[in-house]
Structure formats: C-alpha cells, structure tokens
Amino acid sequence: MPQIQSHYPLTSLNTFGLQSVAEYFISIEQPQQLLDCIADPKTKSIQWSILGGGSNLILPELVHGLVLKMDLKGRQLTHEDEEYWYITAAAGENWHEFVQWTLEQGWGGLENLSLIPGL
C-alpha cells in the first residue's frame, strides 16, 4: 500500500499554480498500488479525485477525500495490423512526449495532437 499523506500541497501540481491542499494524497507509481487502494477499507470508503498533469484544472483551497496522483510510466506497441498501430500508454505519461515518441517510431497519426498539456 502506498504511503497516504495528509494535507498534501497541490500548488506545484496544477498548471495555474493555485494554492490548494489535498486532505489525503497518494502518488500511484505502480499498478498494484491502485489495486491496493481499491481493496483497502480506509481508502475505498472515502471520496477519490484523480490527478494527472493538473492542466486546465481549477482546484479549491481544500480537496476533500483522497487525491490519487497518476505517476504510472510505460508505453509500448501492443499490436499492429495492415492499417493501424495499437499503442498502450500508462496514465502518468506526458502526452506531448508520448506523441513525439510515436512519431520517432514512425507511427504517424497523433501529430495533430502534439503540444496538448497533460498526462
């Protein structure tokens, strides 16, 4: 189970730099940590908010409940056929870097979605 932190500052985790604090906070870096949160009676009984890159997000001064920061990493080609590439990306991957990576691999199609902030 990941470490639950109380009154965790979210100011640096939102692109507007708004002063905000999470009542409870967990950084999810491995898929098993998310499964542990789902199974733990302490965490599954309170409200959850999911935080990615914090772009275009207006946070209140206090976010009640548990904030789960998605810090999962990983991207891979999972399948391809004559028409498409099927690519999986984890919830903590930077979107722009992901798009650039697909282009470096020669897998076109997402280039018009480049420079979108977020994870």
Q: Indicate if 34 and 86 belong to the same structural domain.
A: no
Q: Indicate if 83 and 59 belong to the same structural domain.
A: no
Domain count, the chain: 2
pLDDT tens digit sequence for 18-33: 999 999 999 999 999 9
Range of the domain at 81: 75-112
Q: Indicate if 64 and 12 belong to the same structural domain.
A: yes
Q: Indicate if 12 and 63 belong to the same structural domain.
A: yes
Rounded Cα distance, 67 and 46, in Å: 10
Q: What is the pLDDT of residue 1?
A: 64
Q: What is the pLDDT of residue 42?
A: 87
Residue 118 lies in a domain: no
Q: Indicate if 36 and 61 belong to the same structural domain.
A: yes
Q: What is the pLDDT of residue 73?
A: 97
Q: Indicate if 21 and 60 belong to the same structural domain.
A: yes
Q: Indicate if 58 and 92 belong to the same structural domain.
A: no
Residue 119 lies in a domain: no
The beta-strand segments (E) located in 2-116 are 5-9, 21-28, 48-51, 62-70, 75-80, 85-89
Q: Indicate if 82 and 53 belong to the same structural domain.
A: no
Judge contact between 25 and 5, C-beta under 8 A: yes
Give me the mean pLDDT over the 86-107 stretch: 96
**Burial class for 112, CB neighbours closer than 10 Å (0-12, 13-18, 19+):** exposed
Closest by CA to 63, choosing from 111, 106, 24, is: 24
Q: Indicate if 56 and 84 belong to the same structural domain.
A: no
User: Is the sign of the CA dihedral 73, 64, 48, 36 positive or negative?
Assistant: positive
Cut 0.75: pTM above it? yes
Residue 23: both structure tokens together: 């009542």
Q: Indicate if 53 and 102 belong to the same structural domain.
A: no
pLDDT tens digit sequence for 52-72: 999 889 999 999 999 999 999
* Residues forming beta bridges with residue 8, ordered by sequence position: 22
